Structure 1
């Protein structure tokens, strides 16, 4: 490894895993980063990971925490294990990229944020990669430039069929609310962070959260009881811009749509997949017109992804590029989703939960 390269260890590198879908392709595609090690749960899975990725693999976290060639620890395991691994990595003096959600609740996230603040020479970020979408960043700039005038109201919708289709048996743990990986924490979390980069901080006016399908269907044919929500609806206020938001695991297919209505037109972001993955479409319809102008991403945006636009790791690569820049220079050209950002998002989701639980 050259002295200019930053070594990365990915914790949670099983074969059927988000790390293999997005993180490892992003790391290996970027100049200046080198995948040094992967960490799995067992010696057997470590051997398989080493063969697949052609890199050193271990099931012992201390092996990477003690490795001076590892600069960045990427935490991609299940959410309940995030806190212990992130705490160990920060204590070991490593930079950290932790998948979203950062923690299972606000107090746990706040504790990690305080620990992060005690290591000012290290960079710790959360995997809210959607904010690096070139279409989203172009939309934010166009909105700030007055392309649709003054924003008035907005409608946000994220549909996925995850609550209706059979899922792999090893994903059955997602049916438990305590796992903190459901429609609110994952899909609303990612999307509301993206919306916040466009409209700013949100205030919750009303919310509802429920399970429309109280069973979790797995590919073995079993129907398992679930207590995690599969639908969320919220009324949000962004400094006077009222947003009606719906997040559903009982949609007919994957789709995303954000429409922002302004005094001079309508801006629309849409996708046929989860919005944080990338490949969005950005359109503007001027006031009084039926013709939509398709806006392409600006070509001067920092941290352009080396991965194709349709790759699930497209935005993840941009997030890693920004992290590497911050490590090398002490700052990034695009605001990073650091642990303070994560706590604020955890707090917003907690307010939505409380409002939903106390609603008549």
Structure 2
């Protein structure tokens, strides 16, 4: 692998999807990364995207993976498609970044971790390495709040409510692995673990209160098995108590708020949308008898301020960590092994809720 790392993206569209909104701007922001190929859902969409981005379009993942000038494959499509599309990449041993959730369930995630030739395998937990996550982690480690006593998180997820589009209807089926539990809740659980440590001694209530929804494109009623209410409590290292409540289809209340209280101070992290891994987060803090006031992060935490407020911001930081890993340097980029552990955590929480 030379100084420039060639990237091929699976699912990069010319019409505005996650690949085009998040991955493409992130790649452009990192000089060592260069887009060198793509493949999309159909030959027509592949051709349109190839023309727009000025790179070759390939008929299959296998064909793109075989190219010697492509070092890293990014999988940016729906969760149910990950296993099939990852197959040729994992067999090749090439580096891969696969969006989170890695798989539909823990068993599939373990299979993807273990199959194929050994090679660098990363997962799309961009909140794990976001500027805010790393800064709050360091504030707490440096004693800003003193001894942590509690962590309280509330999130109003815009999806998972009474309506879906044709494009998002697959997320109403829990078996597809793209639910409020596996996406915003899992991202937030991971961010909390980075800053405060892993949650243990958990209790959980998980419910699907809306068992039917409407496809707004067709007017058809569809069954819904994905959870729309998740409430989890537990203990953090040192004994602090943590609570997380995620509400699906809630559009009128607090998008995202996370409060951390300690013996000496407090932090409040808020977001403009119920997707903590992608939201524009602001941080307020107070120590001793102070009132909460905005805190400004040191400039060194944000390598890509020009992307702030966009879906690409945290994704660019993830790619930057992947570049470090592929260069043989220390890196915080989350791997497939980490993805398996996160799948294990959320399935354990769901099992506790079911067992009650």
The question of a shared fold, defined as TM-score above 0.5 by the shorter chain, is answered with yes
Q: Distance in 1 between matches of 2:47 and 2:176?
A: 28
Does 2:136 correspond to 1:139? yes
Q: Counterpart of 1:37 in 2: which secondary structure? A: strand
The superposition leaves residues 290-317 of structure 1 with CA deviations (integer Å, 9 ceiling, x where unpaired) of x22322222223x712642111110001
In structure 2, relative to structure 1, the CA distance for the partners of 1:97 and 1:49 (3 Å cut) is same
Number of matched pairs: 351
Q: Counterpart of 1:196 in 2: which secondary structure? A: helix
Decide which of 190, 200, 203 is 1:203's aligned counterpart: 200
Q: Using the TM superposition, give the Cα deviation of residue 214 of structure 1 relative to its aligned residue in structure 2, in angstroms.
A: 1.9
In structure 2, relative to structure 1, the CA distance for the partners of 1:336 and 1:184 (3 Å cut) is same
Does 2:64 correspond to 1:67? no
Decide which of 337, 341, 354 is 2:338's aligned counterpart: 341
TM normalised by structure 2 equals 0.93
For residue 258 of structure 1, what is the aligned residue in structure 2? 258
For residue 303 of structure 2, what is the aligned residue in structure 1? 304
For residue 45 of structure 1, what is the aligned residue in structure 2? 45
Q: Counterpart of 1:229 in 2: which secondary structure? A: coil
Q: Using the TM superposition, give the Cα deviation of residue 180 of structure 1 relative to its aligned residue in structure 2, in angstroms.
A: 0.3
For residue 323 of structure 2, what is the aligned residue in structure 1? 324
Q: Using the TM superposition, give the Cα deviation of residue 285 of structure 1 relative to its aligned residue in structure 2, in angstroms.
A: 1.9
8 A contact 2:160–2:179 mirrored in 1:
no
The superposition leaves residues 98-121 of structure 1 with CA deviations (integer Å, 9 ceiling, x where unpaired) of 1001111112212222347x62xx
Q: Distance in 2 between matches of 1:107 and 1:165?
A: 30
The superposition leaves residues 262-307 of structure 1 with CA deviations (integer Å, 9 ceiling, x where unpaired) of 0112111111122211421111122333x22322222223x71264
The superposition leaves residues 146-166 of structure 1 with CA deviations (integer Å, 9 ceiling, x where unpaired) of 111100111111112323464
Q: Using the TM superposition, give the Cα deviation of residue 344 of structure 1 relative to its aligned residue in structure 2, in angstroms.
A: 1.1
For residue 282 of structure 1, what is the aligned residue in structure 2? 283
8 A contact 1:103–1:109 mirrored in 2:
yes
Does 2:226 correspond to 1:228? yes
Q: Which runs of 5+ in 2 are unaligned?
A: none
8 A contact 2:7–2:74 mirrored in 1:
yes
8 A contact 1:213–1:230 mirrored in 2:
yes
For residue 88 of structure 1, what is the aligned residue in structure 2? 88
Q: CA RMSD in A?
A: 1.9
Decide which of 112, 132, 149 is 1:152's aligned counterpart: 149
For residue 99 of structure 1, what is the aligned residue in structure 2? 99
For residue 125 of structure 2, what is the aligned residue in structure 1? 128
Q: Using the TM superposition, give the Cα deviation of residue 36 of structure 1 relative to its aligned residue in structure 2, in angstroms.
A: 0.9
8 A contact 2:79–2:101 mirrored in 1:
yes
Q: Counterpart of 1:275 in 2: which secondary structure? A: coil
Q: Distance in 1 between matches of 2:73 and 2:201?
A: 34
Q: Distance in 1 between matches of 2:311 and 2:162?
A: 21
TM normalised by structure 1 equals 0.92
Q: Using the TM superposition, give the Cα deviation of residue 51 of structure 1 relative to its aligned residue in structure 2, in angstroms.
A: 2.8
8 A contact 1:305–1:317 mirrored in 2:
yes
Where in structure 1 do 4 or more consecutive aligned residues deviate above 3 Å? 163-167
